[in-house]
Structure 1
Amino acid sequence: MASKIEEIQGKTLDRTKTVIHHFIFPDNEDMDSNYAQIYFRWTRQQPECRHGKVRIPADCSLSTCSFFNIFPAGKWNKYADIHTYTFQILLRGSAKIYLWETGFDEEEGVDRKLLGMKRTISDETRLYEFGFMADALDNNIFIVIDAESDCELYGGQVVARTCYEAKPVNLAIGICTYHREESVRTILQQIYTTFFEQSILADNIGVFVADNGGTLTESDYPDRGVKVMKNKNVGGTGGFVRCLLEALEDPNKKWTHILFLDDDIRLEPESIYRTYMLYSFIRPNFRCSILGGSLMRMDYPYIQHAKGERWMFDHVEFGRNGFNLLCEEDLIVNELEKDVEYNGWWYCAMVLENKKNELPLPFFIHIDDIEYGRRMGWPIMTMNGIGVWHDSFENRKQSAMEYYDMRNSLIMNALYEPRRPVEDTCKRVFRHLVHQMLKYRYDDQLLTLRAVEDFLEGSEYFKTHDPILVHEEIMEMGYHPKNVVKKLYEMKASRDPIRKEDLYRKYTFSLKHKLTLNGWLLFGKKELTALPMGCHATHLYRLKNVLYYDPQSGSGFTVKRKRGMAFVTLLRYAKAAWKLKRKYEDTVQDYVLNNAELCSSDFWKKYLSIG
């Protein structure tokens, strides 16, 4: 990756002095969209971004106080061993250039400090620099350009100098995919263009793609730096493990780190560059740390869905959930440390050392990243400027996920809270069955019961059951959405994205809901009502017939309130609780004693039918 500045200065890699952070420019077609101000902010007049430069009109004030272009000096100082920073911008035109530091104070809120100012009066393109000792900077650094004439910004970057050579890093990128050829093709082309065509890192980055669907062809990926493996479809877990094994056993390269990427993200390649540079200058006490990227929404690209998470026995606690990254206070608070246990594998980097028999558990999908992060126990590094976008999650949950979420979380809780009484697990199962009942998803209860039964078979279950056949059985259970676009049109149901003000809204059961069992004790409204799949149970109050649908795809299915299912739910719970109380302690002991075998390369090679 070469910036305009590097082209002028000469593109050579000085192992004690190197660029660790480039300014990122949005595509010009994004300048009128919500994407643009996650790169730059401006006042008065709108800039234009064309041909690798930003045109800043006279009287426009352009700021890099944004998610992708603010420089988190405080985090870099904590994680990396840096001696000095030099902030450089390449600009043509007359302007005032300000360098600001911003942090957060619990009492005062956002706190800004001016670090320097330069005045430019020139029709020539010139390089302007601000230099600082690293220990003089504690927070986040950004640049403001007040244009006095029409100006052109060609680039900006942060150069770090250390007292020693950067550590050698070879970064493998692992992607698991299943029938998402177009998305994967886009990601691979971005990586190829950025790193394999003209980058000094071309020999230090490689991509491994586990193709679980077996549908990628040679025309779908570049002929350099990318290895695609046809992989047995044992879920996302199996795909990421295949990438791990390929990187660990590559005879042509000793890969030091691996970065997991989802196959359906929108990627900013500079995130990968910053990840590489951070590990190149990492302090010894953070050498084994995981670097996690933020997850932002595609429908509202400035809204952060997660940034580091914690597992709370029966649910995930997301870090910085719902933060508006266009709000300066949210952006700065986003950089404060938060105690998290893992980061989702949509963007998650880690060292490869000693991984051969420390592989993920064969969970197929879901909870695998949670369990692996907790097992590794390494600190989770996060910072503004590293992240990806993903489609919203509210309405995408298949019935099959009810099985995997319950089974895998029971296994994880057995491993990490083995002394927790079985009664807590029974209560957790009961709450889940009741929730499914209140949403009229009675068939999903059968998936929950199947999950409990399979969990109680212990670690031998994964050695004696074919995961492909199990998945086929699971997919046959539950509900099967069909195209309901015509029906939605007739019902005038909204297919608009969820309103921003409703994102991450917390719903609770009121006294009315509690006294009437969410309307179950009252007569129901007979007409069919369309509800998004991600709705809360309170939205079903007194409804008798419901059409669940995904606004994005237009698929859905109908469910109906059946009062007799309240009694059936109690019977189903009683059956599950009886089994849990009989076998729970022995099952927990089995997983504690034998889970290591399920994490070994020998087990996984047999599981994947390779080697």
Structure 2
Amino acid sequence: MMYKIQQIVFPNIDIVCPENMYFRGNEEKVYASLNKKSIELVKGGIAIFDTFFNSLSIRPWKENCQIDDLGLSLTGRGKVRIRLGLHVLDRADQWLYENDIELSDTPYEMDLPFWNRVHDGMLYLEVRALTDAEITGGYFFTRTKPRNKVRLGIVITHYNRKHYVLPAIHRISTELLNDPYYKDHIELIVVDNSQNIEDSEKENAILLPSKNLGGSGGFTRGLLYLKDENFTHCLFMDDDASCEMESIRRTLHILEYGKVDNLAVAGSMLREAEPFRLHEKGARIAGTGVVNLKHGLDMRHVHDLLVAETPEPVTYGGWWHFAFRIKDVTHLSFPFFVRGDDMLFGLTNHFNIMTLNGIGGWADDFGIKESPINRYLSLRAHLMCLIIGTNTSKWKMLRTSFGCVITSDMSYNYSGAQAFIEAVRDVLKGPSFWENNVDMANVRKHLSQIAPGEKCEPIHIPKDAEYGRGLHESRKRRFCRILTLNGFLLPNFLMKNKTLVESKNFHAVFRRVFRYKRILYITPDHTGYIAEYNKKKFFKNLRDWGKVSFVFCRKFQSTKTEYQKSLTHLTSEGFWRKVFTSNQNK
């Protein structure tokens, strides 16, 4: 019997992505048909599939899965010459297989005898048209029987983003849940934290209306549902499911053939603004920071694709695409509401996390989403992960926290700096704070009062606004900036009474904003806000930081001990079931 493990993915209308992440072809002889989802070749045309979506990465498959043989199946029309090639980092390319075949609607299956001889690198397909031809489908397969019986539940948490989640439900329902090959293995569970999806809109999904307990509560509710319904595996995904459906199929097949204990699959994140640019392929904690693995690689280029598959230890995978076996979970999510839940989930459950080219999706840049509430949530969660999951010293945590406060302050985002300070205060309140604020309602209300503003809205750019200087500056100017805290020690008459336009990000580019009285932060969709130079607010934040850092030093060890003792309770099934029951009764 034949079992699919990896299908050919074609460029299509639904996904905005460069074609050379799917295939490469010689100009004017190879074309992608977006509507038909096929590739057409004029005689002499060559289509090469050494790409992000369509190459097969040998080492990750062999190290993590038991696949004893490999084959290739193709459908289409026309006579073609098939070649299988191998790219290995820093080694010469080589051909492994060649065959001339006649394509038709009946799958042409080829066993690949070299599979047991190769151990690393990128296996790829080349198709040369001997007549006019078309490739309409294909997949790598094995005759090895799956080791594991997998019933996979996809869990999506939704809150007031119907314009994203409904298309995602439709795509998953149409492309996966209606597919006879997959419908008995995969189900979709949507935890509706906003309780506004109608039964008529859910299509093939299972809908779980819920009180808004954030991503932490939503994903945990979905996971417990899967456990109660005897699912074997879980896949956490973003509510827009901005990925090729093949990412989910490949995840399923990895889990079916997995031979490694505690195996989990983390999907890559690519940038929506640059769909070929890798933001992260798994992550790990290093010191007090997070390392986004393989950050910045260009997934259009073979060299970068090979580098992306070089092994690195992965601490956790983001919940935009993270799959695992349910019985391997020893700790459920910590009640963060949002932010940090995926990080601590990885730290406490000790998964063996693999990544694979072709599995992942796209997301907005996090810097565009920054706001006081997000700054609060990010630092709060980061400190908690360091306190519970690492042996990081209090001094290093203080340095990290101060870096957050001072960069926000120097960006004229004084509410953001206050939010960072409040995050440290709340961490020091101990386990009872989290138990009493699972829904974050009171905390969000309090934050809106102490850290207002910095909200992006449609905005008009003043005619006299400036776009600032380049990144180069003289040593004298840099010395002056540092000496004056980027202008906050200068007298007011030396400040420019002008507005600088700055792209919204985590913080300003300080050499550009130096001496400007106003900064207009703007996003790619032309929303934004104006931040103003204010010495009084700047130094008030530094004083507040000094006070909270003193308390942090004094209470650090006792707080850390409390959290470590309470971790099992706050991430237990009993705790979360009690939370869900109490919220249902309200």
Q: TM-score if structure 1 supplies the norm length?
A: 0.87
Amino acid at match of 1:170: R
- The answer as to whether partners of 1:362 and 1:598 remain within 8 angstroms in 2 is yes
CA contact (8 A) 1:526 1:543 kept: yes
Question: Of residues 522, 536, 551 in structure 1, which corresponds to 2:524?
Answer: 551
Aligned to 1:441: 413
Aligned to 2:501: 530
Please give the alpha-carbon distance, in whole angstroms, between the structure 2 residues aligned to 1:177 and 1:452.
Answer: 28
Deviates more, 1:519-528 or 1:314-323: 519-528
Aligned to 2:86: 101
- SS of the aligned residue for 1:87 comes to strand
Instruction: Tell me, yes or no, if structure 1 residue 71 matches structure 2 residue 42.
Output: no
Quote the Cα distance in structure 2 between the aligned partners of 1:517 and 1:313. 26
Match of 2:112, SS state, is: strand
How much does 1:261 deviate? 0.3
Aligned counterpart in structure 2 of residue 350 of structure 1, from 303, 324, 331: 324
Distance 2:539 2:173 in 1: 58
* Structure 1 partner of 2:303: 329
Residue of structure 2 equivalent to 1:147: 129
Whether contact under 8 Å (2:167, 2:240) holds in the other structure is: no
Contact 1:491 1:530 in 2 (8 A): no
Match of 2:555 among 583, 599, 605: 583
Percentage identity across paired residues of the two chains: 25
Following superposition, the deviation at residue 173 of structure 1 comes to 0.5
1:492 to 1:133, Cα distance in 2 relative to 1, 3 A: same
1:134 paired residue number: 115
- Give the C-alpha shift of residue 125 in structure 1: 7.1
Residues 1:242 and 2:221 aligned together: yes
What is the rounded CA distance, in whole Å, between the counterparts of 1:121 and 1:233 in structure 2?
A: 56
Report the secondary structure of 2:88's partner residue. Answer: strand
1:532 alignment partner AA: S
Does residue 597 (structure 1) correspond to residue 576 (structure 2)? The answer is no
- Give the C-alpha shift of residue 437 in structure 1: 1.4
SS at match of 1:518: coil
| Structure 2 match to 1:423 | 395
For residues 493 and 64 of structure 1, do their structure 2 counterparts lie closer, same or farther at Cα, with a shift above 3 Å needed?
farther
| Aligned counterparts, 1:92-491, within 5 A | 92-105=77-90, 108=91, 111-120=92-101, 127=108, 129-132=110-113, 134-138=115-119, 139-162=121-144, 164-222=145-203, 224=204, 226-250=205-229, 254-283=230-259, 286-353=260-327, 355=329, 358-418=331-391, 420-465=392-437, 467-481=440-454, 485-488=458-461, 490=463
Partner secondary structure for residue 368 of structure 2 = coil
Contact 1:258 1:349 in 2 (8 A): yes
Q: Deviations over 1:434-457 (max 9, x none)?
A: 112111111222212221121111
Which of 482, 491, 496 is the matching residue for 1:514?
482
Question: What is the TM-score of this pair, normalised by structure 2?
Answer: 0.91
Distance 2:442 2:102 in 1: 71
Per the alignment, do residues 337 and 122 of structure 1 end up closer, same or farther by CA in structure 2, a change over 3 Å counting?
Answer: closer
Q: Is the 8 A contact 1:449 1:576 kept in 2?
A: yes
Cα gap change, 1:169 to 1:510, in 2 (>3 Å): farther
CA distance, structure 2, for counterparts of residue 393 and residue 412 of structure 1: 19
Partner of 2:532: 560
Offset of residue 482 of structure 1: 5.5
Q: Is the 8 A contact 2:151 2:233 kept in 1?
A: yes
CA contact (8 A) 1:264 1:390 kept: no
Give the AA of the match of 2:26.
T
Structure-1 separation of matches of 2:65 and 2:288 = 35
Q: Which amino acid aligns with 1:346?
A: W
Deviation at 1:530, TM superposition (A): 2.1
Find the aligned partners of 1:29 and 1:342 in 2 and give their Cα distance. 29
Q: Which moved more, 1:229-238 or 1:520-529?
A: 520-529
Q: Give the drift of 1:93.
A: 2.0
* Alignment match, 2:19: 36
Q: Write the distance in 1 (CA, Å) between the matches of 2:296 and 2:532.
A: 33
Give the superposition deviation at 1:88.
Answer: 2.3
Q: 1:54 aligns with which of 34, 39, 48?
A: 39
Offset of residue 485 of structure 1: 3.7
How many residue pairs get aligned? The number is 568
How far residue 71 of structure 1 moved from its aligned partner, in angstroms, is: 1.1
Q: Secondary structure at the match of 2:431?
A: coil
Is the contact between residue 344 and residue 370 of structure 1 (CA under 8 Å) also seen in structure 2? Answer: yes
Contact 1:396 1:550 in 2 (8 A): no
What is the CA–CA distance in structure 2 between the aligned matches of 1:352 and 1:516, rounded to whole Å?
55
The 3-state SS of whatever aligns with 2:93 is strand
> Counterparts of 2:228 and 2:103 in 1: how far apart (Å)?
55
How far 1:593 moved relative to its partner?
0.9
Q: CA deviation at 1:200?
A: 2.4
In structure 2, relative to structure 1, the CA distance for the partners of 1:328 and 1:479 (3 Å cut) is farther
Distance in 1, matches of 2:301 and 2:137, equals 24
Distance 1:366 1:468 in 2: 16
Instruction: List runs of 5+ in structure 2 lacking aligned partners.
Output: none
1:18 aligns with 2:31: no
CA contact (8 A) 2:454 2:531 kept: no
CA gap 1:268/1:492 in 2 versus in 1, 3 angstroms: farther
The answer to whether the 8 Å contact 1:528/1:546 transfers is: yes
1:463 CA drift (Å): 2.3
SS at match of 1:119: strand
